[in-house]
C-alpha cells in the first residue's frame, strides 16, 4: 500500500497533465462510419501560388509563405490514419514545429521545397537566399555582361575604325581627343565625302555645353550662310548612344599642329598678315552678334588646306622648314562662347592667352578676345607662346616684364582681397616674394620685351606690326583696340614692291621650261645658302610671294 506525503508546496505539473484528453474517435470522428481502406484524407490551406509571380518579396517572407501555402499532408492509408491524425492534433498545441517533422519531400512542389531548404539554412544560423532568387540574379548579371559597353570609364566613346556612327557615317580615322570628347574622320555614304564628327563625352555637363555650342553654331550659320566670315559651320547633329555628335566639313590641321610639326618655326610675315586679317574678320563678326568667343588660341584655328612646300631652315643649318601653300582658316570650338548679356563665368580662356582683367577679377567682355589675338600673332611670329606659365602671379610678372608695369588705375579697380594677393600697396606687383622659386625668377628675368622680340626698326612692316600688337595688348580693356578698328590699321594695307627687294643679295634667277621660278640666292654666312628653291604649280604667283618673303631676309629663312 503506497503512502502519500502531503506538503505545503504545490504539486509540479508534468507535461502529461498539459496534454489534452485523448479524442473520442468513434463519437467525434467516425460518426458516419470508418473510411474505406483506399480513402485518403488531404488537408490543404490554399492553392499553390503561380511560379511566374512578378512581385518580389524578401527571401525570408517567401520562405515562410511557401511553407504555409505549399505544405501538404502525405498520403495516409486506413491502418495509419488514426495515428497520424492524432500526431497532428497533438502537435498543433506546440508554439513551434520541429524542423524535421516532414522528411519526405517527394510530394511537394519545387517552390515549396526550395523555400523549406532556405528556411532550414537560416534557422541553423547561416542565411542562404532561395535558389530561385540566386538563379534570377545570376541570369540578370549575365545579361548585363552580355550588353556591350560603348564608353570608357571617363565617358569617352570608344572609337573603333570601321564602326558605324549613326545611320550614314563610318569611322575612318581618329583626329584628336580633348576634355570635351573626341573628333573622328568619317565617310558620309550619302554625300560620298569625308566629314569630321565631334563626339561629346557621355557626361551631363558636357552634353549641356554641347547644346549651347549647337545654338551658337546655328546662329552663325543663319547669319552668314555663305560663310564669308570663316567661322566653321555645323552640317547637322544627332544623339547616338547617349553621345551628342556634331558633323562638320573636314579641314586641315590646326595652326598649333602645323607649328608643332614644323619644329615651331615661325610663319612668314605675309602669312601672319593674312591669318591676322581673317581672324579679326571672324571675331568682328562674332562681336557684332554680341558674342564673345573666350577661347581663341592656335588650336582653335584650322587651316582649310595644310599642304606646304619645304625650304631650308635659317634656324638649323642642314634642316628644312615648311611654308604653307594656302593660309585660309576657319575658326572653331564655340563651346565656351558666351553672349554678352548672359552669365559670365569668372575665369575664361586658356592660360597662355588669358587677358589681365580675367586674372585680376575685373570682369571681362569683347576685349578679352583681342588680347588673345595679340598673343596668337606674337606666337606666329616667334613660333613660341608669349606667356608660358600656369600660375597667376608669375603670369602677371611676365606681362610686366614684356609689356611694362600694370597701370595704377587698373590696380585700384580690383577688390581688396585681390589687391593684397597680387600687389604691395597700389603700385608694385608682389613678385618675387618668399614663395617664388629660383627657376621662376630666372625664367621671368630671361624674357625679352615686346620691342626686343619684334625689332620694329628693322623694317616698316615690323614697325606697323609692333604698333598693332601694342594696341592689342593694352592692359586696360576699355582702351584696347576693337576688332573693327584693328582691321583698319596700316599693317593690313602694306604691300611689297620690287623696289623693296634687296637685289644686291639676289645672285640670279631663271625660268625653267615648266614655267617654274627657280631662285639661286645667297644671304651671307648668317643665313646660310638657299639651294635651288623651286616654286611649283603657279610660278608667277609664287614668285610674288617669294618677293614678299625676301623683304626681310630672315623672314624667309
Q: What is the pLDDT of residues 475-529, one digit of tens each?
A: 999 999 999 999 999 999 988 543 333 332 333 333 333 333 333 333 333 333 3
pLDDT beyond 60 at 400: yes
317 pLDDT band, cuts 50/70/90, is: confident
Q: What is the largest CA-CA distance in the chain?
A: 157
CB 541 within 8 A of CB 309: no
CA dihedral 226, 231, 237, 240 (to 10 degrees): 150
Average pLDDT of the residues in 320-343 = 94
pLDDT beyond 90 at 91: no
Listed range (33-37, 95-99, 502-506) with the worst mean pLDDT: 502-506
Pairing mode, strands 193-200 and 243-249: antiparallel
Distance CA 442, CA 364 (A): 31
- For residue 188, the model assigns a pLDDT of 97
Could you tell me which of 200, 202, 188 has the C-alpha nearest to residue 250?
188
Number of CB atoms found within 10 A of residue 285's CB: 19
What are the cell numbers at 71? 505544405
Listed range (248-257, 412-421, 504-513) with the worst mean pLDDT: 504-513
Kindly state the percentage of the chain with pLDDT values over 90.
Answer: 59
Distance CA 479, CA 357 (A): 12
Listed range (53-67, 76-90, 417-431, 526-540) with the worst mean pLDDT: 526-540
* Radius of gyration, CA atoms only, the chain: 44
Distance CA 390, CA 439 (A): 14
- For residue 210, the model assigns a pLDDT of 95
- For residue 268, the model assigns a pLDDT of 93
- For residue 552, the model assigns a pLDDT of 36
Q: How far is CA 301 from CA 256, 288, 331, 373, in A?
A: 8, 20, 5, 11
- For residue 221, the model assigns a pLDDT of 97
- Give the H or E element holding residue 18: helix 15-18
Q: What would the DSSP string read from start to end of 161-212?
A: TT-EETTTEEEEEEEEE-SSEEEEEEEETTTTEEEEEEEE-S-HHHHHHHHH
What global pTM score does this model have?
A: 0.66
- For residue 200, the model assigns a pLDDT of 97
Q: What value does the mean pLDDT of the chain take?
A: 77
Distance CA 418, CA 435 (A): 17
The residues pairing with 506 across neighbouring beta strands, listed in sequence order, are: 521
545 pLDDT band, cuts 50/70/90, is: very low
The residues pairing with 522 across neighbouring beta strands, listed in sequence order, are: 529
Listed range (97-101, 237-241, 353-357, 361-365) with the worst mean pLDDT: 97-101
pLDDT beyond 80 at 312: yes
CA dihedral 5, 7, 12, 18 (to 10 degrees): 80
Listed range (23-37, 135-149, 438-452, 537-551) with the worst mean pLDDT: 537-551
pLDDT beyond 60 at 540: no
Reduce the DSSP state of residue 50 to 3 states and report it.
Answer: coil
Domains and CATH numbers, the chain: 23-93+104-134 (no CATH), 164-249 (3.30.200.20), 255-494 (1.10.510.10), 495-557 (no CATH)
Max mean pLDDT among 408-417, 488-497, 525-534 falls in: 408-417
Distance CA 511, CA 392 (A): 56
- For residue 316, the model assigns a pLDDT of 76
What are the cell numbers at 524? 651671307
Instruction: Encode pLDDT of 120-162 as tens digits.
Output: 444 445 555 555 555 556 555 555 555 568 999 999 999 999 9
Average pLDDT of the residues in 41-58 = 55
Could you tell me which of 424, 429, 425 has the C-alpha nearest to residue 405?
429
- For residue 84, the model assigns a pLDDT of 53
What per-residue string of b and e applies to 59-97 under the rule 16 or more CB within 10 Å gives b?
beebbbebbebbbeeeebeeeebeeebeeeeeeeeeeee
Reduce the DSSP state of residue 460 to 3 states and report it.
Answer: helix
- For residue 107, the model assigns a pLDDT of 47
CB 359 within 8 A of CB 396: yes
Distance CA 197, CA 248 (A): 6
Q: Is 198 annotated as a binding residue?
A: yes
Helices in 254-341 by DSSP H: which ranges? 255-261, 269-288
CB 335 within 8 A of CB 260: no
Average pLDDT of the residues in 26-55 = 56
* Higher per-residue confidence, 268 vs 66: 268
- For residue 456, the model assigns a pLDDT of 96
Active-site amino acid positions: 295
CB 299 within 8 A of CB 177: no
- State yes or no: cis peptide before 432, omega within 30 of 0: yes
Average pLDDT of the residues in 533-537 = 38
CB 183 within 8 A of CB 176: yes
Taking each continuous run of H as one helix and of E as one strand, the counts in the chain are: 19, 17
Listed range (66-80, 120-134, 333-347, 391-405) with the worst mean pLDDT: 66-80
Average pLDDT of the residues in 257-286 = 96
546 pLDDT band, cuts 50/70/90, is: very low
CB 175 within 8 A of CB 147: no
The DSSP symbol for 325 reads: S
* Higher per-residue confidence, 257 vs 128: 257
CB 245 within 8 A of CB 239: yes
pLDDT beyond 50 at 281: yes
- For residue 524, the model assigns a pLDDT of 32
Distance CA 173, CA 340 (A): 37
Listed range (220-229, 236-245, 342-351, 530-539) with the worst mean pLDDT: 530-539
* Higher per-residue confidence, 466 vs 38: 466
What per-residue string of b and e applies to 304-335 under the rule 16 or more CB within 10 Å gives b?
eebebbebbbbeeeeeebbbbbebebbbbbbb
Could you tell me which of 240, 164, 160, 230 has the C-alpha nearest to residue 199?
240
Amino acid at each position: 500500500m503506497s503512502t502519500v506525503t502531503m506538503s505545503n508546496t504545490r504539486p509540479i505539473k508534468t507535461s502529461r497533465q498539459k496534454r489534452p484528453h485523448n479524442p473520442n474517435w468513434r463519437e467525434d470522428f467516425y460518426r458516419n462510419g470508418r473510411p474505406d481502406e483506399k480513402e485518403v484524407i488531404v488537408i490543404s490551406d490554399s492553392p499553390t501560388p503561380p511560379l511566374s509571380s512578378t512581385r518580389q518579396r524578401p527571401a525570408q517572407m517567401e520562405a515562410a509563405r511557401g511553407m504555409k501555402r505549399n505544405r501538404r499532408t502525405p498520403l495516409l492509408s486506413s491502418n495509419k490514419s488514426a495515428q497520424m491524425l492524432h500526431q497532428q492534433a497533438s502537435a498543433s498545441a506546440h508554439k513551434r514545429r520541429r524542423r524535421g517533422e516532414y522528411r519526405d519531400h517527394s510530394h511537394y512542389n519545387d517552390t515549396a521545397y526550395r523555400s523549406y531548404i532556405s528556411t532550414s539554412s537560416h534557422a541553423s544560423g547561416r542565411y542562404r537566399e532561395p535558389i530561385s532568387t540566386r538563379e534570377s540574379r545570376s541570369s540578370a548579371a549575365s545579361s548585363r555582361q552580355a550588353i556591350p559597353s560603348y564608353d570608357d570609364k571617363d565617358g569617352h566613346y570608344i572609337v573603333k575604325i570601321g564602326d558605324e556612327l549613326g545611320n550614314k557615317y563610318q569611322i575612318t580615322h581618329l583626329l584628336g581627343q580633348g576634355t570635351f570628347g573626341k573628333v573622328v574622320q568619317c565617310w558620309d555614304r550619302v554625300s560620298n565625302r569625308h566629314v569630321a564628327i565631334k563626339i561629346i563625352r557621355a557626361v551631363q555637363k558636357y552634353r549641356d555645353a554641347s547644346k549651347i555650342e549647337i545654338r551658337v553654331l546655328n546662329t552663325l550659320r543663319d547669319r552668314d550662310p555663305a560663310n564669308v566670315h570663316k567661322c566653321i559651320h555645323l552640317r547637322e547633329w544627332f544623339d547616338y548612344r547617349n553621345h551628342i555628335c556634331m558633323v562638320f566639313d573636314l579641314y586641315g590641321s590646326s595652326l598649333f599642329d602645323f607649328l608643332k610639326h614644323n619644329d615651331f618655326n615661325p610663319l612668314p610675315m605675309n602669312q601672319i598678315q593674312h591669318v591676322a586679317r581673317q581672324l579679326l574678320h571672324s571675331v568682328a563678326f562674332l562681336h557684332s552678334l554680341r558674342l564673345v568667343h573666350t577661347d581663341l588660341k592656335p588650336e582653335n584655328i584650322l587651316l582649310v588646306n595644310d599642304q606646304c612646300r619645304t625650304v631650308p631652315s635659317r634656324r638649323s643649318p642642314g634642316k628644312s622648314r615648311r611654308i604653307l601653300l594656302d593660309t585660309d582658316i576657319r575658326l572653331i570650338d564655340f563651346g565656351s562662347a558666351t553672349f554678352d548679356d548672359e552669365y559670365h563665368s569668372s575665369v575664361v580662356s586658356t592660360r597662355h592667352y588669358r587677358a589681365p582683367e580675367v586674372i585680376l577679377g575685373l570682369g571681362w567682355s569683347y576685349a578679352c578676345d583681342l588680347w588673345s589675338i595679340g598673343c596668337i600673332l606674337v606666337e606666329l611670329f616667334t613660333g613660341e607662346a608669349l606667356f608660358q606659365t600656369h600660375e597667376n602671379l608669375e603670369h602677371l610678372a611676365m606681362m610686366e616684364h614684356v609689356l611694362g608695369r600694370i597701370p595704377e588705375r587698373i590696380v585700384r579697380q580690383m577688390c581688396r582681397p585681390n589687391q593684397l594677393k597680387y600687389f604691395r600697396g597700389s603700385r608694385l606687383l608682389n613678385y618675387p616674394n618668399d614663395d617664388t622659386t629660383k627657376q621662376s625668377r630666372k625664367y621671368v628675368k630671361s624674357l625679352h620685351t615686346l620691342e626686343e622680340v619684334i625689332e620694329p626698326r628693322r623694317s616698316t612692316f615690323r614697325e606697323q606690326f609692333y604698333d598693332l600688337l601694342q594696341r592689342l595688348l593694352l592692359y586696360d580693356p576699355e582702351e584696347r583696340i576693337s576688332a573693327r578698328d584693328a582691321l583698319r590699321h596700316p599693317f593690313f594695307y602694306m604691300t611689297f614692291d620690287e623696289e623693296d627687294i634687296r637685289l644686291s643679295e639676289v645672285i640670279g634667277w631663271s625660268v625653267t621650261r615648266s614655267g617654274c621660278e627657280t631662285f639661286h640666292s645667297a644671304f651671307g654666312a648668317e643665313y646660310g645658302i638657299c639651294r635651288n628653291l623651286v616654286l611649283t604649280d603657279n610660278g608667277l604667283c609664287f614668285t610674288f610671294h617669294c618677293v614678299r618673303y625676301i623683304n626681310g631676309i630672315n623672314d624667309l629663312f
